[in-house]
Amino acid sequence: MIEYASLIMVGVVFLLLLLGYPVALTLAGTALMASLVGVISGTFDIAFLNASPNRLFGIISNQTLIAVPLFILMGVILEKSKIAERLLESMSNLFGSLPGGLGFAVTIVGMLMAASTGIVGATVVTMGLMSLPSMLRAKYDPSLATGTICATGTLGQIIPPSIALVLLGDVLSNAYQQAQLGQGIFNPKTVSVGDLFAGAIIPGLILVFLYACYVLVTALVNPGRAPIAKTERVDFIQLATSISPPLLLILAVLGSILLGVATPTEAAGVGAFGALLLAARSIGIEELKQISRSTTKTTSMVFFILIGASVFSLVFRGYGGDELVHSLFEDMPGGATGAVIVVMLVIFLLGFILDFIEITFVVIPIVGPVLMTMGFDPIWLGIMIAINLQTSFLTPPFGFSLFYLRGVAPDSVSTIEIYRGVIPFIVIQVLMLFVLAWQPSLATWLPSLLYS
């Protein structure tokens, strides 16, 4: 029984999470209780817990993680300001007179919002409040309208600069170094957040293109589902003034990282300062207080979970969990391919009950080193996980994106219509996963070109 203690820990954690206990306290509490039982029974070496202070110091001194509160601040500012509303109005006037034009406008604005906020819940709620009433007034089919909003909202998982990719990049970097050290490579290569940002660009843009194509084909085949909307005359000056600020901000942040001009942390500082300048006219003291509270609350949650996950991983490794997982994967039918399929399936199912933060900090440190030891590219693996989670957040009946939109959608839109609307986008997501598995270069080509 003792050889499976690490897996029992994992099972206890997920059971407690299902019962509604806080993630950070569940992780740390389960680990400390397991270590106490192990010390009393003589099956656990307390020296593993002695490494906790060094782990915590490593977290607070991690330069990459400083980008997290700055990107969160940037996203919350853009969410609370009127920038997205003005952008949606301008894009609707530009494309509204075309078949499916309003849906196309929502897709583009959702992409820019996802890139700006990097948080799925914020994007879905904001787009739901802004665009769903307009689409329903234009007689759009409710399932098409809600499906488009939910799908574009989840782009915050994959479109950089994304909070999910920042956290995933840091965890994958540690897992990659651990995998190489386990193979006897004592001068390990590194993978950075910038690598993951570069790897996500092509798959992310392909998804946006496929979303837009689906809306356009639907409008052409069945015009009643996406009728041409009545729009005002396009004011190109207004269009330029509404689209330029967020676009320039995204390009400044992302471009400085990809070109090596700035680290993700420095770019996040530029992004947060730029967002403050853009929103200076539209936010007051009260809004600024709300922004500060929201940023502090979200940042505290992220780091509290990270600390709990750090303690959990120490105890998990102390019980030999990494060796157990490695042996289970090696004995799995299908070898490395079978192992990665099982991991993707487990992550997909966990996406129903856990947020990306918990999955990133709990699951990836366990399975990441093993998969990379088997030869999988860390950048490809990170993008696959991000798209997989994006698909999970869309899938009925438990997808987070569906719950977010249900909370702001009018009662006239049924839950079944929301579920039905996301099905085509889920198919697109799964297709993207298969294509990425078939052609890993879609994720690895641009990073190798930029950082060769």
* Structural domain includes residue 7: no
pTM comes to 0.82
Q: What are phi and psi of 224, to 5 degrees?
A: -65, -25
Tell me whether residue 429 is in a domain.
yes
- Give me the pLDDT at residue 118, please: 64
Domain count of the fold of the chain:
1
> At CA 140, angle to CA 138 and CA 143, rounded to 5?
150
Instruction: Give residue 432's pLDDT.
Output: 94
Residue 25 lies in a domain: no
Q: Looking at the chain, how many residues does it have?
A: 452
In a domain, 268, yes or no: yes
Write the pLDDT tens digit of every residue in 326-349: 777 777 777 788 888 888 888 888
Query: What number of H helices and E strands is found in the chain?
Result: 21, 0
Mean pLDDT, the chain, whole residue set: 82
Is 15 a domain residue? no
| For residue 425, pLDDT beyond 90 | yes
The whole domain housing 154 covers: 57-282+328-358+374-451
Whether residue 10 is contained in a domain is answered as no
- State the Cα–Cα distance between residues 366 and 328, nearest whole angstrom: 12
Best mean pLDDT range from 129-133, 186-190, 387-391? 387-391
Residue type, 276: L
Query: Quick one: 284 exposed, middle or buried, by C-beta within 10 A (0-12, 13-18, 19+)?
Result: exposed
Q: At 227, phi and psi to the nearest 5?
A: -70, 160
Spell out the long-range contacts of 13-22 with Cβ–Cβ below 8 A and sequence spacing 24 or more.
Answer: 13/312, 13/362, 14/350, 14/353, 17/353, 17/354, 17/358, 18/353
Q: Which is more confidently placed, 184 or 166? A: 166
**Residue 439 has what pLDDT?**
92
Residue 27: inside a domain, yes or no? no
Q: Is the pLDDT of residue 414 over 70?
A: yes
| pLDDT value of position 44 | 80
Is residue 260 in a domain? Answer: yes
Instruction: Say if residue 250 is exposed, middle or buried (CB neighbours under 10 Å; 0-12, 13-18, 19+).
Output: buried
Instruction: Give me the mean pLDDT over the 113-136 stretch.
Output: 76
